[in-house]
Amino acid sequence: MIALRVSFFEVAIPVLLISITLLILIIAFRKLRMRWAIDHPNSEKYAVLYSLVKQPISGEVEIYYEIEEPKEIEIWLTDDKMNDKLKIDSRKSKVGGTKIKFDSKSVENGRYFYELRSDNQKTSKAIYIENL
């Protein structure tokens, strides 16, 4: 039998070079996908609904969202099964940020979702109400 003597470096260096090349190709592909916006929706068409900072809430809170083009927006309070409980607000929003006041004393304590709805979007955030 013939014994082959191969040093560690003769194997490790090609493996290392192949690994680095593959990593660079993966990173380049991801950058190109982001630049070409493949699988990314146009953010100008959608509103951004922000989470509440303090949880659980009690009393009056402000719900905040931003949009980049004017549109009809509705804010709903839904229960944990996503059934509508209360229409918080409905308006033709202008470009930029909008704050909406919501008094949590109008509903029972528990877990809910506040939901932003428009003609092309529905997004929600969890809210925990604990009125004393």
Q: Is the dihedral of CA 82, 87, 92, 96 positive or negative?
A: negative
CA distances from 74 to 21, 47, 52, 54, 99 (A): 50, 11, 18, 23, 13
Confidence (pTM): 0.65
30-67 residue pLDDT tens: 888 777 765 556 666 888 999 988 889 999 999 999 99
83-94 residue pLDDT tens: 999 999 999 989
Structural domain 43-129, CATH architecture: Sandwich (2.60)
Would you place residue 3 in the very low, low, confident or very high pLDDT band (cuts 50, 70, 90)? low
- What is the residue extent of each domain of the chain? 1-40, 43-129
| Strands 121-129 and 110-118, sheet pairing | antiparallel
CB 122 within 8 A of CB 115: yes
Number of CB atoms found within 10 A of residue 43's CB = 10
Per DSSP, which regions of 55-130 are E strands?
Answer: 60-67, 71-79, 84-93, 96-103, 110-118, 121-129
Using CA atoms, how far apart are residues 9 and 12, in angstroms rounded to an integer?
5
